[in-house]
Structure 1
Amino acid sequence: MDQPEGFVVLGKENLVCKLKKSLYGLKQSPRQWYKKFDSFMLSNGFKRSDYDSCVYLKTVNGSAIYLLLYVDDMLIAAKEKSEIAKLKAQLNKEFEMKDLGAAKKILGYIEKVLRRFNMHNAKPVSTPLAAHFRLSSDLCPQSDDDIEYMSRVPYSKGAVGSLMYAMVCSRPNLSHALSVVGRYMANPGKEHWRAVQRIFGYLRGTSSACLQFGKSRDGLVGYVDSDHAGDLDKRRSLTGYVFIVGGCAVSWKGCLQATVALSTTEAEYMAISKLMFHERTKHIDVRYHFIRGVIAEGSIKVRKISTHDNPADMMTKHVPTSKFELCSSLVGIKV
C-alpha cells in the first residue's frame, strides 16, 4: 500500500508498505475475511454448500445445524439451542463478535412494515394491483393542494422501498405491482398512493405466505413473458421472468424494457434475452441476436408455454384473481 499521509519516509517517497495483515476498507479485505472464516468453519467439521458458498452445514447426533453468512453477519439455525450456544462460543474465541440475540431482521418483516405505515388494519384484497389502476404520469400532482397532500405521504420515504425489499426477498408475485408504482417515486400522485395502499392490503391478507420448496425432476426451469407497450407513458414493453427449482422460485424480475418494441414478437424476443445477459451489456444488437446461437448449441431449450400455464404472466400485467393465485402457486408461494 502507499505510505500513509503524514508517515512518508523522506528520501523513500517512491517506496510502498508491505501489508502483514489485511486492513478494513482495502479491495482484498472481503476476500481475506471470507478465506479466514471459511477455513475456521471447515476446521470445525462444517461443510460448505455446493450451491451457496455462504451456507455451512454440520450434522450433530443426526440433527443438522446451519450457519448462513452475509458479509460479516451470521444467522444460525438448529433444533437444539445447546448446539447454537456451542457454535457461538467457538466463534467468539476466534473472532470479535457481538451476539444480537434471536433473529428479528427478516422474521415477521411483513407485519412490521404494515405497522410502520399504519396499514396493519387495512382491508385485505386478493391481488396487489387491480385492473382499474391505469397509472401514468398524467396522475402526478397538478395543483398546490395535491402537492401539499403528497408531501405528507411516505410514498418515496420508505413505503415503496419497504415493499420492494419484500418483493426481492420472498414475494415474486409483487414484481409487476412494484415495477409500476416504482416509476413515480420522484413525483407520485394520489392515485399512485392508492395503488401502494392496495399492495399493503394484499400483504395484510397474505402476511403468512412464504416460498416453499418441493420435489421436481425438471431441474432449473425459467419462464419469461412480456406485455407489449404496457407502459402508458413511453409505450415501452414490460419483461417478466422467473426461474424455478424444486417447484419454488429462486430468481425473478419484472421491469420495463430499455427500448420501445415495435411488435409483440420483438417484445418477446427482447424479453427472452434477459435470461442470458447482464443489464450493462453495451452491444444491444449483439445481445438480442446472440440468443439464437445459445439455443442452437443446446445450452437452453426454448418452449412455447400457454399463457394459462406461464407464471411470469403475473409479472408483466394485471391478471384476474384466479390466474394470480395460480401463478403464485406455480412459483412456490404457499399461504
Structure 2
Amino acid sequence: MITVRCLLAIAAAQNWSLSQLDVNNAFLHGDLHEEIYMSPPPGLRRQGENLVCRLNKSLYGLKQASRQWFAKFTEAVLAAGFIQSKADYSLFTCKKGTSFTALLIYVDDILITGNDQKAISSLKQFLQSRFKIKDLGDLKYFLGIEVSRSKQGICISQRKYTLDILKDSGILGAKPVAFPMEQGTKLSDAGDLLKDPSQFRRLVGRLIYLTITRPDITYAVHVLSRFMHAPRMPHMEAALRILKYLKNAPGQGLLFSAGNNLKLRAYCDSDWAGCPMTRRSTTGYCVFLGNSLISWRTKRQKTVSLSSAEAEYRAMTGACCELTWLRSLLSDLHLPHPEASILHCDNKAALHIAANPVFHDRTRHIEMDCHFIRDKIQDGTVSTKFIPSSHQLADMFTKPLGKDPFLSMLGKLGVLDIHSPT
C-alpha cells in the first residue's frame, strides 16, 4: 500500500492520468509445473469408480494459483518491454525517450499511470490480447479505497468502509468525539475478560485495514492489537471510542497535493518505556514525498531500551530503513534522489550517536544492525536534522495526544475530509 500511495502522489504532482483494469478469472490463466490431482466434481463420478483428475491448468482454491498467475502476468508484461522493480515486484515500468508508463498489480486489479496516453492505450490493447481484461476507466475505487481528483490533487479515503464498520457495530447513533484516545491512556492486562473475544478481534482487524488512509488512528489501533489474545473490557471501551471518533468524520482521508517537489523527508520519534507491561518503547515515524504523506508506522520495539536516547536511536534506524527502500522505489520510477533525504529527530543525544562513529560505553549493548544509520549518513543517503518536540510530526504515532495538539497535527499530515461542509 505504500507503493500505491507513492504512485498516487507522483501522479498528482506530475498530472498523470490514472487508469484501472480488472482481469477476469485471473487465476485460470496460470500454468502448473507440478503434478496436481483432484477429485472429480459432482456429477462426473460414477458409482463404484475411484478416479481422480489431473490438472493441466490452475484453478481457484489451489495454493499455487496466485503464484502461477503472477508468474504468467510477469512473463507477459516483461515481453511488452517493461522492467520489474526490485523494490516492489508488483511494480513494472517502461521508459522510451520521454514516454514513461508505470503498472502496478494487486492480484487481479491493475493500476496504470504515465505521461503518454498512446503508450497506455497500446498497453491496454496488449493486455487484452493476452488476457481477458475489463477496462474500468479512470481510477475511482481501488481495493476499497475511494479516489477523488481535483485541481488541488488526489484525495483517498475509505468512507464506505468506515460507514460499514459503524453500521455493523451498531453505534451510528452514538455521540462523536474529537480524538481517538484520551491523553495519558495506558492500556494493560487489567480488567474483566470479554465473554466473546471474537467481536473485538474482528473489529480491530477491520480497523487495521482502515489505517491505510487514516494515519490518525494508527497508534490507537496498534495499542489495541497488542491484546488480541485476551481482550478485556477496557480494551473494548477504547475500541468503541475509536468508532465514535470515526463517526465524527467518516470520509476523512489523505490529500496528495498537485504542488509537490517530490523530495523525501521523514520524522521519527519514540515513547520511552511506553508499554506498562513490558517497559518496551514505541517507535513511530512518518515519511513525506514533498508535502504528501506516503508512509507511516507505529511499532513496539523488540528489546527494552536503557535510555530515551537509545529508544530514539532505534526509531531513527527504523525510519532510515524506510527511507532507503523508498529511495530505491523512486529510482525504479525514474525519480532519483541525488541529494540526501532529511530525517528529523527531536533528541540531540540520538543525533550525536548516529553522527559520531566512535565507540560509546552507553551504546555498546545496542545491536550492530542499529548502526546501519551511521553508514547511510556517511555515504550521503540520509541527513539528520534536529527539530523541536513541538514540531515533531511523528508524535501522533507514539503516544495519545490531547485534543488541541491532535487537531493541529492532522492538518500538518495532510489529513482532510472532502465530505465535510465548507
Short-chain TM bin: 0.7 to 0.9
Change (3 A) 1:36 1:303: same
- TM-score w.r.t. the length of structure 2 is 0.59
From 299, 309, 326, the equivalent of 2:391 is 309
| Displacement after TM superposition at 1:110 (Å) | 1.3
Identity, in percent, stands at: 33
Between the aligned partners of 1:32 and 1:90, the Cα distance in structure 2 is 14
Between the aligned partners of 2:408 and 2:255, the Cα distance in structure 1 is 15
Question: Over residues 36-88 of structure 1, what are the superposed CA-to-partner deviations in whole Å (9 max), with x where a residue is unaligned?
Answer: 14656x79xxx999x9874889xxxxxxx9975322223689xxxxxxxx998
**Which region of structure 1 is more displaced relative to structure 2, 121-130 or 213-222?**
213-222
From 382, 386, 396, the equivalent of 1:300 is 382
- TM-score w.r.t. the length of structure 1 is 0.73
Look up the equivalent residue of 2:376 and give its one-letter code: V
Counterpart check, 1:172 vs 2:172: no
Q: Which residue of 1 aligns with 2:71?
A: 31
SS in structure 2 opposite 1:267?
Answer: helix
SS in structure 1 opposite 2:226?
Answer: helix
Q: Which residue of 2 aligns with 1:324?
A: 406
**Which region of structure 1 is more displaced relative to structure 2, 296-305 or 65-74?**
65-74
Q: Which residue of 2 aligns with 1:81?
A: none
From 293, 296, 307, the equivalent of 1:263 is 307
Change (3 A) 1:112 1:229: same
Between the aligned partners of 1:74 and 1:204, the Cα distance in structure 2 is 31
| Displacement after TM superposition at 1:29 (Å) | 4.9
Contact 2:92 2:104 (8 Å CA) reproduced = yes
Q: Which residue of 2 aligns with 1:229?
A: 273
Number of equivalent positions: 292
From 189, 192, 201, the equivalent of 2:232 is 189
> Map of 1:11-160 to 2, 5 A cutoff?
25=64, 29-37=69-77, 54=91, 69-74=105-110, 94-96=130-132, 103=141, 105-107=144-146, 108-131=160-183, 133-139=185-191, 141=193, 147-148=194-195, 151=196, 154-156=199-201, 158-160=202-204
Unaligned runs of 5+ in 2: 1-31, 38-55, 95-100, 114-121, 147-159, 323-364, 418-422
Question: Over residues 72-109 of structure 1, what are the superposed CA-to-partner deviations in whole Å (9 max), with x where a residue is unaligned?
Answer: 223689xxxxxxxx998986554235789984833322
Look up the equivalent residue of 1:35 and give its one-letter code: E
Unaligned runs of 5+ in 1: 7-19, 58-64, 78-85, 142-146
How much is the aligned-residue C-alpha RMSD, in angstroms? 4.0
Counterpart check, 1:288 vs 2:370: yes
SS in structure 1 opposite 2:367?
Answer: helix
Change (3 A) 1:272 1:153: same
Counterpart check, 1:240 vs 2:271: no
Look up the equivalent residue of 2:217 and give its one-letter code: L
SS in structure 2 opposite 1:325?
Answer: helix
Look up the equivalent residue of 1:219 and give its one-letter code: K
| Displacement after TM superposition at 1:183 (Å) | 0.6
Change (3 A) 1:140 1:285: farther
Contact 1:312 1:327 (8 Å CA) reproduced = no
> If each structure's strand is expressed as a fraction of its own residues, which one has the higher value?
2
| Displacement after TM superposition at 1:254 (Å) | 0.5
Between the aligned partners of 2:141 and 2:245, the Cα distance in structure 1 is 25
Question: Over residues 236-263 of structure 1, what are the superposed CA-to-partner deviations in whole Å (9 max), with x where a residue is unaligned?
Answer: 1110000011312111101111100111
Larger RCO of the pair (alpha carbons < 8 Å, separation 6+): 2
Look up the equivalent residue of 1:194 and give its one-letter code: E
From 184, 200, 225, the equivalent of 2:243 is 200
SS in structure 2 opposite 1:210?
Answer: strand
Question: Over residues 244-285 of structure 1, what are the superposed CA-to-partner deviations in whole Å (9 max), with x where a residue is unaligned?
Answer: 11312111101111100111111101111112348xxxx971
| Displacement after TM superposition at 1:5 (Å) | 7.1
| Displacement after TM superposition at 1:213 (Å) | 1.6
**Which region of structure 1 is more displaced relative to structure 2, 312-321 or 86-95?**
86-95
Change (3 A) 1:154 1:293: same
